[in-house]
Structure 1
């Protein structure tokens, strides 16, 4: 009996220590891995959120950029990191696209990463060249049906968000458009502005600066809510195409096996930041809309999005070359 009591006492001490370790997390700097080079939207969002987490916790959240291979280098790095909450992935919609584009990865971008929270999203907008004789989403659909195969849409490359958005529009509207992939969103936008391509579906901040000058037209927001930066632009749902819904989203993920208490702590700190108008204003200024998702909601959302994009990739027979 004495031996049993001793074991129980040791067990209680270990449990108390583990609980204390979790409640005091983080006790040292946390690395936030961004899947792209500095300066892009995902990088900007990661730095805004990391600063907020630093203010909430008193610990440093250090952004580290690991670009390349459609974000899979960073995803794999975090998936294989120690599951202790000190290596985070700044994740976004690409995480839900690459599993179907890269089926031979040495890790599973969905199963080997646990979502912590999604704190912002940037709905895509449907933009067209000022030379295209359409002014609404319905007019574009009618024009494309009257001119099958003649309308083209640009993207930053095969499997990119704008590519997926274009394929989604083709699917839900029953139209035929020709995909023109570029090596990045910049060249795609330049050719849209010059009229070399007809359509580009991209994040609202990319298009907003060119609307007032008339260099391009924004026909719809690919969402069920209007965006703050383009309040007069109707949503796809308002235009009669509710299934045309594309938004890049921004959150954090940790390696599979990270204690749930750590994820809950990180979520609580993010929630505390989202309750502050100053943090929300920074997100809006960067072109995103603040949202709040718990770890459980984030997990379900990511799984649903992976299934949605996977089905579209299969239907459109998209192959990564």
Structure 2
């Protein structure tokens, strides 16, 4: 009887420990700070959006979300780290069309695949732009295209690294316009913009999110925005159709991902925090100022992103196949 009681006691204790461990993931999460990996240097659109959303999500979750900027290989370095992280919800990553779609075509030897990540939800939609240094001789898109064609390979456009969403803006623009320009790779949009303002390069391919301040401060000149309508924050910047290049159309995006096998209850908590963050009037006002668009309720879901990403991978495979 004593032995039976002993084993029964062990079984009960083990069951209690298991029961305690199982709900702890969902009920107690998060019990410490969370790291959000940003695949680029500070200052670019992904970084700006990550910090705004991270601050709001941290308030909702009751834990600080710490930014970890990790540039290199158009975001592949950071995504590699994120893919190998412990799937416990304490390491998340903000990705975009470059890091989580085009990179699979550009870097076929990546050590991870799309299946190594689980989506949390769409964070923002961004507006691609081309901006030039203030003293560049061309003042309109037509003049710029004519100048670039008359000087093949001599005009330089900076971007946040091969495989980044900014690189894709450059590639989309080149394909639409037929120009031959020199693409200059940086570890992030911030360093590229700094060199543009310093006159080291002629222009940049970037999102309005990170360019708005420099354009409004008259430190660079926005040439065109690749959206169907003008931006409320930059009403003087013509759309690509208005400027005579309707084929230059693009839609940028950012989404949050976690390593595969992250528990569903943890993803659900992160998604709920993201939804609450995006509903914040403060964040929505900041997004408007930065020309970023808050996703719809349907888009801020793991299911939407899970369906969107494979379509984006195929889209950019076709764009880049003649690279």
TM-score by length of structure 2 reads 0.76
Alignment map for 1:44-59 (pairs within 5 Å): 44-59=48-63
Q: 2:266 aligns to what SS in structure 1?
A: helix
Alignment map for 1:237-252 (pairs within 5 Å): 237=241, 239=243, 241=245, 243-252=247-256
Q: Report the aligned-residue RMSD.
A: 3.6
Change (3 A) 1:37 1:232: closer
Q: Is the CA contact 2:115–2:260 (under 8 Å) kept in the aligned structure 1?
A: yes
Unaligned runs of 5+ in 1: 1-6
Q: Is the CA contact 1:144–1:177 (under 8 Å) kept in the aligned structure 2?
A: no
Q: Is the CA contact 2:128–2:207 (under 8 Å) kept in the aligned structure 1?
A: yes
CA distance in 1: counterparts of 2:53 and 2:121, whole angstroms: 11
Unaligned runs of 5+ in 2: 1-10
Q: CA deviation at 1:249?
A: 2.9
Q: Is the CA contact 1:144–1:150 (under 8 Å) kept in the aligned structure 2?
A: no
Q: Which residue of 1 aligns with 2:317?
A: 310
Q: CA deviation at 1:88?
A: 0.7
CA distance in 1: counterparts of 2:304 and 2:253, whole angstroms: 14
TM-score by length of structure 1 reads 0.76
User: Is 65-74 or 178-187 further displaced after alignment?
Assistant: 178-187
Q: CA deviation at 1:116?
A: 0.9
Aligned residues between the structures: 303
User: Is 164-173 or 37-46 further displaced after alignment?
Assistant: 37-46
Q: Which residue of 1 aligns with 2:181?
A: 178
Cα deviation per residue 1:250-280 (whole Å; 9 max; x = unaligned)? 3310011223333232112111121121122
Q: Is the CA contact 2:116–2:260 (under 8 Å) kept in the aligned structure 1?
A: yes
Structure 1 counterpart of 2:110, from 102, 105, 109: 105
Cα deviation per residue 1:10-61 (whole Å; 9 max; x = unaligned)? 99x9789746742553344322222234454433332322221121122332
- Is 1:229 the equivalent of 2:233? yes
Q: 2:115 aligns to what SS in structure 1?
A: coil
